Structure 1
């Protein structure tokens, strides 16, 4: 049984979501070792008692549960499979939990390589953005061995409230693609609805009061539309990372013979925003396409 007495958690990646997630683990009493490319991002956690590691290799040597949430599949591959990566240096029996949105194919590869070393790997991408991470209310979708999922569920429960085992290795990532496909088209609808409200001379805040809890309701409508109205385009989730996710989803859809026109449209709109310098804005910045702030 995993407890704070027999567990050291390693956490790699302290971005918009990772920093809050790591904070929940530390607050719960687990010894925490952290690494991120920019050490300044770790200062707050270090002040609260986290231990710094100089590389993923050092995290792997010190921790027996290692969580990663980094940027791109290439980053995941380097962190896990590189010469100084986790798999080459982790202690036998350690649990490896990748919470990055990455490719199902890479998740299976990591699982297989980890198994050869006596390690237990899970792919566990998340949904809920900065708000879900801050509040410990993420949705977590998990692929890997069921008994490994059960073993680390106490840790995952510190980070999310909707934690679902989806199946064998790669299943968590496939589920996250379903999530991103649903969000992609929904974001177009949310932005168009708010733009319509404004151009029709309505008060967008009052419109939200009527439609957010009805049949049109969605997480994006409730959490991101208010930011659009206030002109707040700071990232809860970066456009550049959403484009990465949509590219993965389109590639996977092609592999399984699924046409995804809604996803393709969303990806094209976000790509045009990125070309105009919005890649580091939050996904709600798609609203600029409709309200005339950004000519795309």
Structure 2
């Protein structure tokens, strides 16, 4: 059996290294693939085969992808020289990328018409979890194929869930991301109000990180706000695209979600104010500017 992995970026590299360990155990042949030659070095050091050409992966039984966005996934799978033009019925593509629900369904249908299985398996977790194999992985597609590849998925994640048919993995990830974005919007709006009305920023932040109003978002991002750190990580612009993808589904299904709509408006205010490339807690800057305050610990700007 041969297994390939395409996309060795921040998340993909760690995942691919964990998957590549299966070759040392004699379970399969492994190939790591990325257009960036430099990203292949750590795989070469481990004695694993590498390539910069996706066509070299097309003799694999299972091809795993971790790519930046829907456009690139479409290009790699459906493009003029994409995987689908080289694969044979019975092969499987497993996509860890975060793309839209409708996009995942479209790609899956194109693959199915050629006898190729496509599973959308977006991931949740930070780079450290990718490296130590403790990600959450949410999968949509053929359930029988899911159970076949689950031992490989278990090398990369500790929470590996089958969510349903094609698109179900992406829908799960979209809902999770939207819930996170709502939490970010809530503290971004309320922290500046507290500071404007005389509360200490650090003490108020401590309450929102520990009391009943706490969340993963507050615990992870408020410390960065208090130190004025708005760089690195998942930008406001990318976070907004997640909500756009969810909104497409809601429109098609005629489902009203007022809280999500309100959150999108908060993000729009921040985006229109020039904070698109800030990490998502950068939304707070819009409300700081509006109220003429800074939500910072003493000594930070």
Superposed pair shares fold, TM > 0.5: yes
Shift of 1:193: 4.6
Q: 2:172 aligns with which of 171, 175, 185?
A: 175
After the TM superposition, list the runs of 4 or more consecutive aligned residues in structure 1 that deviate by more than 6 angstroms: none
Is 1:90 aligned with 2:87? yes
TM-score (norm 2): 0.81
- Secondary structure of 2:158's counterpart equals strand
Q: Tell me how far apart the structure 2 counterparts of residues 45 and 231 of structure 1 sit (CA, whole Å).
A: 37
Is 1:128 aligned with 2:131? no
- Secondary structure of 2:5's counterpart equals strand
Q: Is the 2:104–2:120 Cα contact (8 Å) retained in structure 1?
A: yes
Q: Is the 2:273–2:286 Cα contact (8 Å) retained in structure 1?
A: no
Shift of 1:68: 1.5
Q: 1:254 aligns with which of 244, 251, 254?
A: 251
Q: 2:239 aligns with which of 234, 237, 242?
A: 242
- Secondary structure of 2:230's counterpart equals coil
1:275-290 alignment, distance < 5 Å: 278-290=275-287
Is 1:15 aligned with 2:13? no
Relative to structure 1, the CA distance from residue 244 to residue 46 in structure 2 (aligned partners, 3 Å threshold; closer, same or farther) is farther
Is 1:270 aligned with 2:260? no
Output the aligned Cα RMSD.
3.0
Partner of 1:25: 19
Q: Is the 2:191–2:201 Cα contact (8 Å) retained in structure 1?
A: no
Q: Select between 230-239 and 266-275 the one with higher mean Cα deviation.
A: 266-275
Q: Tell me how far apart the structure 2 counterparts of residues 154 and 47 of structure 1 sit (CA, whole Å).
A: 25
Shift of 1:168: 0.9
Q: Select between 161-170 and 24-33 the one with higher mean Cα deviation.
A: 24-33
Q: Name the count of aligned residue pairs.
A: 287
Q: Tell me how far apart the structure 1 counterparts of residues 253 and 120 of structure 2 sit (CA, whole Å).
A: 20
Relative to structure 1, the CA distance from residue 244 to residue 47 in structure 2 (aligned partners, 3 Å threshold; closer, same or farther) is farther
Partner of 1:224: 221
- Secondary structure of 1:245's counterpart equals helix
Higher Rg of the two aligned structures: 2
Shift of 1:38: 3.5
Q: Tell me how far apart the structure 1 counterparts of residues 58 and 187 of structure 2 sit (CA, whole Å).
A: 42
Shift of 1:234: 3.1
